[in-house]
Amino acid sequence: MNSQEIHALLVDQLIGLGPLVTGIMKGVVDEVGLTESQANLLWLIPPDAGPVPMKQLAARLHCDPSNVTLLAAKLEERGLARRAAHPDDGRVRTLVLTPAGRKIRQRLLTNAYTRSPFGTLTEKEQLQLHTLMAKALSGYAADRASRTLG
């Protein structure tokens, strides 16, 4: 098998993986009563880290900061997160998980993990796959950046 055929197989596998993971995540998100966007935001807030600037969350979600503001308000209404001024710069708004938010986030992670197709891989294989995917994505991003600059 040549490299072009291997490349085609990898792309085919990724195309099949996308809807599978999306379906799994939809079920997990529905169980906790959140929208997918709300769950994505909740997922991105590390529970043991300091306050995360909302602008940083918007960048990670690839959306406008105003969208994060709306999502944060919904999470606040449910008692899952709270907005607060950054301790080092009061002009910066952050989002922090509440104890209830930590619990729902952990439930999302646990349910996603137990249903994931990656659960059939050993921990070593999962780490290897993660490393390879990160390499492929960073290489692609660097290549795209060089083409737009050139």
Radius of gyration of the chain (CA): 18
H-only helix segments in 2-35: 3-32
- Taking only the tens place, the pLDDT of each residue in 77-126 is 999 999 988 888 878 888 989 999 999 999 998 988 888 899 899 999 99
Residue extents of the structural domains in the chain: 10-115, 122-150
Note the CATH architecture for domain 10-115: Orthogonal Bundle (1.10)
What amino acid occupies position 65? P
Considering the entire predicted model, what is its pTM? 0.76
Q: DSSP letters along 42-59, please?
A: HHHS-TTS-PEEHHHHHH
